[in-house]
Amino acid sequence: MLYKLFLRFAAPSFVLLLLAFSSDTLAEISIQLIDQDGAPLANTTVVLTPLFELDTQVPEDAMVDQIDENFVPRVSVVQRGANVYFPNQDQIRHHVYSFSEAKLFDIPLYSGTPSEPIHFNQSGLVVLGCNIHDQMRGYILVSDSPFFGVSNEQGQVQIEVGISGDYRLSLWHPEQEYEIESTEMHLDSNLNFEGSYQITTAKQFFPRRGSSSGGYF
């Protein structure tokens, strides 16, 4: 049996199309993200927050590289309590920092991999920068939920959920023009869900220190 739910929100930034198919597997959320021109939208975070008490989940550590004067991946999601390593694979040194309320830290000028990771113990958005290369921007969303993902270059993300119940689905993108309102859904353990979202974006320009050039991100 096919169940179909179509929701359109007042905010012009996105539309949700939600389909549920009968399945014998664990619930899997499949999301397609596009921008206002219909192009696939990478680097969109998708978080499913259970609206019920959940047993403690052990967070997985993560890694944010520095490659060609960029943070790779540019956008990450980690669970609160995770450690994140910041290896520098460039031939030049970087000075990684964050002034964000969710995590204030500073890794002075270095090459290679710092011996200690950074521990992210507070939920929220953490904006990464380099004190040497102003155009470098990275983002780590620290989530209380263990169910999350980031859209790939095709604008796609899959999240497997093995617990039925009510969830809040939240989206975020670095260049979103409007704050995206979260929505609630109910998941059964034997259902697959597919959603399509359109997000209006506005490119941001970060100048390169010491010159008039820079880049759009």
Task: Give residue 193's pLDDT.
Answer: 81
The domain spans of the chain are 2-50+155-199, 62-143
Cα dihedral sign, 182-38-127-88: positive
For range 90-110, the mean pLDDT: 95
Q: Which of 12-16, 71-75, 77-81 has the lowest mean pLDDT?
A: 12-16
Tell me which residue of 174, 190, 201, 150 sits closest to 36, measured CA to CA.
201
Task: Out of 1.10.20, 2.40.160, 2.60.40, 3.30.70, select the CATH number for domain 2-50+155-199.
Answer: 2.60.40
Give the other-Cβ count within 10 Å of 92's Cβ: 11
Give the other-Cβ count within 10 Å of 91's Cβ: 6
Question: 2-50+155-199 with 62-143: one CATH topology?
Answer: yes
> What is the per-residue pLDDT across 50-60, written as a single tens digit (0 to 9) for each?
999 988 889 99
CA torsion 120-121-124-130 (nearest 10°) is -30
CB 175 within 8 A of CB 9: no
> What is the per-residue pLDDT across 163-193, written as a single tens digit (0 to 9) for each?
888 999 999 999 999 999 999 988 887 677 8
Report the alpha-carbon distance of residue 50 to residue 158 in Å, rounded: 17
Q: What CATH number was assigned to the domain covering residues 62-143? A: 2.60.40.420
Give the other-Cβ count within 10 Å of 116's Cβ: 9
Q: What is the mean pLDDT of the chain?
A: 84
